Structure 1
Amino acid sequence: MLETRTAFFLMDQTSSTDDAWLDQVKAGDFSAIPDPFTWDRALLLSQAIGNMYRHARAVGLTKPRDLYEERLEQAKRTGQWRGTTVELWVALWYAYHLVMMAVDLPAPEDEPYLDQLCTQLRDQLQAVPPHEKATLMTLIRIAWTTERYPLPVPFSYQG
């Protein structure tokens, strides 16, 4: 349950030996993402794109917090997360950013929506358009090096 998450949970998940799939994802093989893919398994994937506060504007997005809050409210109203694959991954990144900043966030009642976000993101990654895949692969590469996001960006927000 979400309310039992602590820094120990985060450390435990990041030290898992069952994360070989992440190397495949970082190489561009999104089919390696576990299925089913739920909130409690998503930390490693969420962090693969690096610090989105640093790169959101470069890929044409609003602040991650604003994007997350808007999309979560839409999901609560409509039952679906709306957005591109890049936007959904940024929303997932921000949800885990909340966990790392405050143990009681996101709210426990949001966990079903976060499970849905993970499932929807995994599904969208299976057929991600080439321009979005190029953006994601650039973000992943930068997250694991000291490079900065190059301009012009291969993807612009079509919101």
Structure 2
Amino acid sequence: MSKVPLTLTGAEKLRAELHRLKTIERPSVIAAIAEARSHGDLSENAEYDAAKERQGFVEGRIQEVEGKLSNAQIIDPKLLDAGGRCVFGATVDLEDQDSGDAVTYQIVGEDEADIKGGKISVNSPIARALIGKFAGDMAQVMAPGGLREYEVLDVRYE
């Protein structure tokens, strides 16, 4: 399987989630199953069924997070030396040429994307249009509402 880019912050969040799943969620589910078992007949025990379902979810999520971390190519934006070019991990200040609105986005991995937090997926149309651009360049993005044009005001690695 190919490596998936992930920022240092994104990797730390996944590690924290994995730690929480293994140290808090898993023991909690095991205790809930034991409690439900103590109520007797398992064939009509809704608590047991719910606990087993929750266990399946927790174990599945643990495997998913472990898989993501094992296939991650962790990139620390502070260590990038891209010469002012838009690359994965860069924080980019843009100006919408139609509205004049200024926006700031960080280009991150698929799992880290959070548009409200200013983090866009490296696979998003706007990130694909920005990759390789420098401050002062124009980027055209085919958005759902039509063609949008942005000017790259600044590129930072933070």
TM-score class, shorter-chain normalisation, is under 0.3
Larger helix share, 1 or 2: 1
More strand as a share of residues: 2
TM-score, length of structure 1 as denominator length: 0.25
TM-score by length of 2: 0.25
Relative contact order, higher structure (CA 8 A, sep 6+) = 1
Q: Which has the larger radius of gyration?
A: 2
